[in-house]
Amino acid sequence: MTPTSRPEPADRGPLTRFRNREQADARFGASLVTRLEAGFWETDTLADDVVACFADLPGRTGWQMLESAITRGIDQVPDAPPPLIALFEQAATVPAWVDWEQMETGRIAYLRPGLLTGLGLGCASLAAGYRSGAGVKPLVYTGRIVNKAGVRLRETGRWIHAVTTPGGMRPGGAGFAATLKVRLVHAMVRRRLQTSPDWQWDDWGAPLNDSDLVHGIVGEFSTVMIDAVVDAGIHYSQAEREAMHHLWRYIGHVLGVPADLLPDSEARALAIVGALDLTESAPDDDSTLLVHALINDGLIPALPLPAGVKARCTPVITTVLYGLTRRWAGPELAAQFDLPSTRTGHLIPLIRPAVQALELARRIGLRSGSTLAAKSHALVGRTLAAPEAPTIPVAGMVNTG
């Protein structure tokens, strides 16, 4: 079969994955909805050009140039090809709207819930990322759907740890470097899928497109995680909420998200996520497989507990993780994911008073948010560095002040 090619704009029809257009226009405005629909056809062409250029260079020459550019600056790479220079000019140019003090506030706020941040990312954020049957297809066609759940979590954990390192998102920092590498990995996968005879352009749009990327940045890793930890009793001021969105807005910039798709406020972020969720295709069998693999083959092995304890307690741990995922997914999505009904979702209301009490102690100055964030970040780093390290250490991250 001849590989499919990327359709030209004139050949693009309405995407079958894009639903409820009239409702979305009425709730969120036609201009936003139209922009998001177009984003399903758009990709990060700067990164695509770099990967295409690297493919023509011998061995790992291109990737060695990338490492040199990250550590020493693109000006110190004399043979850097034009696509790599263009990528760095975009990524390393700090937009005028970036406020480093606000980003530090957002970083601390994001980390200080400790265990709850890990649970929110594992049971709420990543599960939310699988709600789109069309959006999960890159995982399906790269063979990363079930047996590599733990690998995916490890990669995600290392990236989140890097972007939440103090100063990590400044050009040349650990988070900046990790985000650029993620960006190019996306482009490598996209290059492969764009020539696949199995890629259904009219149903799914472009592989790893801008709108799917926006949902990850604005939805899964910011809005969804914030909602989950707030449900458990964490208190965020409006300034902290705005700061976390500011942090992820800048991460999105380095990751190659178009500027007009990056929200400049929490209100705009909520509108983007709401419009995408309303118009998105429903979960399919691949979505369901991914969610169950996440819980059984990703999160459970990631728990930093003795092997004997995990072996004896696996049914209990599984039930708890399913309960939390079901609670944060909501009844409709939980049913579509075929998540088992369990009462362990009620653990959240049970622990909420204790969390709120600890939050009150912090707000009156008895606990330090920056200290809590530093402890969480350090523990994640130690866990990731350990032999057979779990990716997102959702256990053992309790902050005691």
- Tens of pLDDT, residues 53-109: 999 999 899 999 999 999 889 999 989 999 999 999 999 999 999 999 999 999 999
**How far apart, in whole angstroms, are the C-alpha atoms of residue 252 and residue 255?**
5
387: tokens are: 């032999």
Segments in the chain below pLDDT 50: 1-5, 9-10, 389-401
**How many Å apart are CA 393 and CA 381, to the nearest integer?**
10
What's the predicted TM-score (pTM) here? 0.91
- Alpha helices by DSSP H, listed for 122-231, are 126-128, 137-141, 149-163, 174-194, 201-204, 210-214, 225-231
Per the structure block, which two tokens stand in for 203?
């149903």
Burial of 384 by CB count in 10 Å (0-12 exposed, 13-18 middle, 19+ buried)? middle
Domain-by-domain residue ranges, the chain? 35-385
Which pLDDT value is given to residue 299?
73
Which of 234, 238, 11 shows the shortest CA–CA distance to 124? Answer: 234
Measuring CA to CA, how many Å separate 312 from each of 20, 131, 303, 309, 389? 47, 31, 13, 5, 20
Which among 228, 308, 306, 238 is positioned nearest to 266, based on CA atoms? 238
> Which is nearest to 99 in space by CA: 223, 214, 247?
247
pLDDT tens digits, 187-200: 999 999 998 888 99
Q: How far is CA 235 from the centre of its chain?
A: 22
* C-alpha angle 281-286-287 in degrees, rounded to nearest 5: 55
3-state secondary structure 313-354: HHHHHHHHHHHHHHHHHCHHHHHHCCCCCCHHHHHHHHHHHH
pLDDT of the residue at 4:
37
